């Protein structure tokens, strides 16, 4: 495998940040970059010092978890907190930004948004980004061996093991179960 592109590098960083998410509905990570240097990162999670969705469940009002600060907002707030300018910076995010994050992105001076997955792409958010002249590009994470679907795979393997248990010997089943445990649970 050759050297990865800058887009893949920064998108991989966003996927790593998403693994810190405390929201059980969707894990999102965001990386702010200026001049090919990471200046901030964020993931979706609760307000510092408050309870987390993973601990007490999501606090959902009108279909949205109001407990969660979005990844993009957390990254932008990190810049504000530490006095790091975002003018002319780029944003790499695992999912297309919501309408509120889009407004914050525009107001912060971000010039490009790179996202890996479509997620409820709001038509007005798309319109605002176009109006502001912000470059928007889908950059799927594909050049790295980073498994962003490990939970789904682990669930599938668990279900598969349950289905085959009556069909194989106890020794064979034990070996399969041990291997699955090494792959997904350690």
Scanning the structure block, which residue is given the tokens 């994050």?
101
Write down the pLDDT at residue 1: 56
How many angstroms separate the Cα of 93 from the Cα of each of 11, 14, 58? Answer: 7, 6, 22
Q: What is the pLDDT of residues 146-173, one digit of tens each?
A: 666 777 888 888 888 888 989 889 898 8
**Structure tokens belonging to residue 117:** 């997955």
**Structure tokens belonging to residue 67:** 């407990």
Q: Give the predicted TM-score (pTM) of the model.
A: 0.79
Write down the pLDDT at residue 5: 92
72 an active-site residue?
yes
Write down the pLDDT at residue 185: 60
Higher pLDDT: 181 or 129? It is 129
CA separation for the pair 65, 114 (Å, rounded) = 24
Residues 132, 109: contact at Cβ < 8 Å?
no
Higher pLDDT: 184 or 138? It is 138
Share of the chain above pLDDT 70, in %: 95
Write down the pLDDT at residue 38: 98
Write down the pLDDT at residue 145: 58
Distance from the Cα of residue 35 to its chain's centroid = 22
Is residue 17 over pLDDT 90? yes
CA separation for the pair 110, 91 (Å, rounded) = 7
- Terminus-to-terminus CA distance in the chain, angstroms? 27
Write down the pLDDT at residue 39: 98
Average pLDDT over residues 30-51: 97
Write down the pLDDT at residue 143: 59
DSSP 170-181: HHHHHHHHHHHH
Is residue 9 over pLDDT 70? yes
Residue 175: CB partners within 8 Å, gap ≥ 6? none
Write down the pLDDT at residue 180: 84
pLDDT tier at 178 (50, 70, 90 boundaries)?
A: confident
Average pLDDT over residues 94-109: 98
- Catalytic residue among 72, 127, 131, 165, which? 72
Average pLDDT, the chain: 92
């Amino acid at each position: 495998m050759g050297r990865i592109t800058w887009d893949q590098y920064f998108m991989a960083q966003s996927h790593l940040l998403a693994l810190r998410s405390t929201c059980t509905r969707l894990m999102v990570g965001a990386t702010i970059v200026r001049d090919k240097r990471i200046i901030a990162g964020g993931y979706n999670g609760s307000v510092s010092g408050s309870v987390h969705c993973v601990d007490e469940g999501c606090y959902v009002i009108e279909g949205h978890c109001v407990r969660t600060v979005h990844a993009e907002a957390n990254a932008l707030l990190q810049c504000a907190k530490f006095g790091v300018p975002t003018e002319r910076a780029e944003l790499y995010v695992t999912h297309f930004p919501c309408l509120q994050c889009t407004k914050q992105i525009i107001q912060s001076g971000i010039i490009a948004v790179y996202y890996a997955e479509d997620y409820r792409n709001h038509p007005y958010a798309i319109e605002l980004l176009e109006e502001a002249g912000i470059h928007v590009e889908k950059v799927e994470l594909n050049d790295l061996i980073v498994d962003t679907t490990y939970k789904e795979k682990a669930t599938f393997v668990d279900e598969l093991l349950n289905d085959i248990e009556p069909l194989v010997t106890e020794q064979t089943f034990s070996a399969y179960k041990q291997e699955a445990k090494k792959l997904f649970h350690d």
